[in-house]
């Protein structure tokens, strides 16, 4: 009996989730006939910076606080929304994937986009950056992990997505020589990745890479950082420290070769397998090290 496990990556979320799942449905609107002074009152009382303009359920324009200011400066007192609004509106359909919305928001540098029902063509909601962040967070249940939230403010996550379109980055600090805490970063990373519904075998490999890399930082250095980047088709784990560096990389990659002190060996590590293990379970490994600058290890696992 073969049970097919669905491969769902974090970045797939923004392809899989639809606008309708995250949009705000309760939208304040005005009609073309609404007077501009009334529109001003609405902005003030609802504390919003613009509204869609709707006629008979259909979107006919959009009007913002900027239009209101322009009107205050030079408009006629009796003007209505119709004369001041922008008629050409960029919209999204409610069944479009979030990725589409993110790229539209980014491209036009808008803070919000009206959402249209594809069939009826009527306005059904409004979507903002905030809605998307909240929706994604909710989906990956990150809200429960306070520590990660602290490290990665919601806006940050959104920045990551914007910058690379589809990438999530996690970062963990590793304390050198602290054998008791060692592995805590891996543990958190593992938990996060499992929430993203990464395939179990990929998850296990990523965890092994992260753990061996973290142990190397703990054993040999005064501390460093562990990063995990999740993007379409790839998890990249980077371990970085500030020294002392590896004198002979080729030798360090020889199975069984180790410079570990005895206390490390007594703890079941330092058998000269760590780097070999990382190489073995990852698809690609890069190791840069200098005695002055420390070591940077990068391992990639295809998903």
Partner 1 sequence: MTVKEMIQGADLEVKAAANCLDTEVTGGYSGDLISAVIANAEEGNVWITWHVHPNIVAAALVVKLAAIILISGRQPEEETVKKADEEGIPILVSKQPAFAIIGKLNNMGIMGEK
Partner 2 sequence: MTLREIAELLDAEVLVGEDKLDMEIERVCVTDLMSEALVFSQPGALLLTGLTNPQTVRTAEVAELRAVCFVRGRRPPDETIELAREKGIPLLCTPVLMYDSCGLLYNRDLQGCSPER
Classify 112 in phi/psi space as left (phi over 0), alpha (psi -120 to 50) or beta. Answer: beta
Residue 182 binds which entry of partner 2, partner 1, none, CB below 5-8 Å type-dependent: partner 2
Q: Which residues bind partner 1 (CB under 8 A)?
A: 256, 265-266, 268, 271
Residue 256 binds which entry of partner 2, partner 1, none, CB below 5-8 Å type-dependent: partner 1
Q: How far is the CB of 269 from partner 2 (least distance, A)?
A: 6
State the DSSP code for 282: S
State the DSSP code for 22: H
113, 107 contact by CB (below 8 A)? no
Q: How far is the CB of 145 from partner 2 (least distance, A)?
A: 15
Q: How far is the CB of 10 from partner 2 (least distance, A)?
A: 20
d(CA 173, CA 226): 6
- Site residues for partner 2, window 257-286 (CB under 8 A)? 267-269, 271, 273-274, 277, 280-281
Residue 190 binds which entry of partner 2, partner 1, none, CB below 5-8 Å type-dependent: partner 2
Of 122, 159, 84, the closest CA to residue 114 belongs to 122
- In the numeric block, the tokens 């996690």 are attached to 170
Q: Which residues pair with 134 in a beta bridge?
A: none
243, 222 contact by CB (below 8 A)? yes
172 vs 269 by CB, closer to partner 1: 269
Q: How far is the CB of 212 from partner 2 (least distance, A)?
A: 7
**In 10 A of CB 77, how many CB atoms?**
8
Six-digit token pair at 112?
Answer: 């919000």
Interface with partner 2 includes 253 (CB under 8 A)? no
Residue 78 binds which entry of partner 2, partner 1, none, CB below 5-8 Å type-dependent: none
Residue 92 binds which entry of partner 1, partner 2, none, CB below 5-8 Å type-dependent: none
50 vs 274 by CB, closer to partner 2: 274
Stretch that binds partner 2, among 57-65, 115-123, 176-184, 235-243 (CB under 8 A): 176-184
**Count of residues touching partner 2 (by CB under 8 A):** 24
d(CA 283, CA 273): 17
Q: In this structure, are strands 92-93 and 112-116 parallel, antiparallel, or unpaired? A: parallel
Residue 208 binds which entry of partner 2, partner 1, none, CB below 5-8 Å type-dependent: partner 2
- State the chain's maximal CA–CA distance in angstroms: 87
Cα angle: 227, vertex 6, 99; to 5 degrees? 65
Q: How far is the CB of 182 from partner 1 (least distance, A)?
A: 19
Q: Which residues bind partner 2 (CB under 8 A)?
A: 179-180, 182-183, 186-187, 190, 200, 204, 207-208, 210-212, 215, 267-269, 271, 273-274, 277, 280-281
């Amino acid at each position: 009996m073969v049970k097919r496990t669905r491969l769902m990556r974090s970045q797939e979320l923004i392809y899989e989730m639809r606008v309708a799942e995250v949009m705000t449905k309760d939208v304040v609107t005005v009609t073309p006939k609404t007077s501009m002074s009334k529109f001003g009152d609405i902005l003030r009382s609802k504390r919003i910076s613009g509204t869609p303009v709707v006629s008979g359920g259909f979107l006919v324009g959009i009007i913002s606080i900027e239009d209101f200011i322009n009107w205050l400066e030079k408009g006629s007192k009796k003007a209505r929304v119709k004369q001041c609004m922008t008629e050409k509106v960029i919209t999204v359909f409610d069944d479009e994937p979030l990725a589409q919305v993110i790229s539209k928001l980014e491209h036009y540098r808008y803070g919000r986009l009206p959402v249209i029902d594809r069939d009826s063509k009527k306005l059904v909601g409004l979507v903002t950056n905030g809605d998307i962040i909240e929706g994604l967070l909710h989906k990956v249940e990150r809200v429960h992990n306070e520590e990660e939230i602290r490290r990665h403010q919601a806006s940050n996550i959104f920045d990551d997505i914007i910058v690379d379109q589809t990438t999530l980055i996690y970062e963990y600090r590793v304390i050198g020589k602290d054998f008791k805490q060692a592995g805590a970063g891996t543990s958190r990373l593992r938990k996060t990745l499992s929430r993203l519904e990464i395939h179990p075998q990929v998850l296990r490999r990523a965890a092994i890479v992260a753990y061996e890399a973290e142990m190397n930082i703990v054993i040999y250095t005064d501390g460093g950082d562990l990063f995990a980047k999740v993007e379409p088709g790839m998890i990249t784990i980077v371990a970085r420290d500030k020294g002392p560096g590896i004198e002979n990389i080729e030798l360090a990659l020889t199975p069984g070769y180790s410079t570990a002190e005895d206390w490390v060996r007594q703890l079941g590590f330092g058998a000269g397998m760590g780097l070999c293990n990382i190489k073995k379970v990852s698809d690609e490994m890069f190791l840069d090290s200098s005695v002055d600058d420390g070591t940077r290890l990068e391992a990639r696992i295809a998903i």
